[in-house]
Amino acid sequence: MASKGKSKMKTHKGTKKRFRLSATGKAMHRSSGTSHLAARMSQKRKRNLRGTTTLDPCMEPMIHAALGKYSS
Contacts of 33 (CB under 8 A, 6+ apart): 41, 49
Proportion of the chain above pLDDT 70, given as a percent: 93
Give per-residue pLDDT as tens, 22-46. Answer: 999 899 999 988 888 888 999 999 9
**What residues does each domain of the chain span?**
13-32+39-67
CB atoms within 10 A of CB 33: 12
Reference 72, options 31, 10, 37, 29; nearest CA is 29
pTM of the model: 0.72
- Topology of domain 13-32+39-67 in CATH is Factor Xa Inhibitor (4.10.410)
Cβ atoms of 64 and 15 closer than 8 Å: no
